[in-house]
Amino acid sequence: MAHSLGILGEDVYGHVDKVRNFRNYIHPRQQMREGFQPRLETAKIAQQVVLAAMRDFEALAGKEEAAQQ
């Protein structure tokens, strides 16, 4: 939804679906069932995507705040 509204940049949007799938492994049963062993580097990649998305949302909030002034 955020992408269709022009909030998320293309570079971020290209990765968010993968991060969503990665997030599902927070459930221990699913992780055990699929034998998924995430590496620290993989978690850091996901973290960077989340941070980039947050920056896109912060930029939108900044534009809205400037428009109200």
Instruction: Report the pLDDT value the prediction gives residue 9, as an integer from 0 to 100.
Output: 87
Whole-number Å distance between alpha carbons of 51 and 64:
20
Instruction: Report the pLDDT value the prediction gives residue 14, as an integer from 0 to 100.
Output: 86
Instruction: Report the pLDDT value the prediction gives residue 7, as an integer from 0 to 100.
Output: 86
Q: What is the pLDDT of residues 5-41, one digit of tens each?
A: 888 888 899 888 788 777 766 677 877 888 888 789 9
Instruction: Report the pLDDT value the prediction gives residue 68, as an integer from 0 to 100.
Output: 76
Q: Mapped to the 3 state alphabet, what secondary structure does the chain carry? A: CCCCCCCCCHHHHHHHHHHHHHHHHHCHHHHHHHCCCCCHHHHHHHHHHHHHHHHHHHHHHHHHHHHHC
Does this model's pTM top 0.75? My answer is no
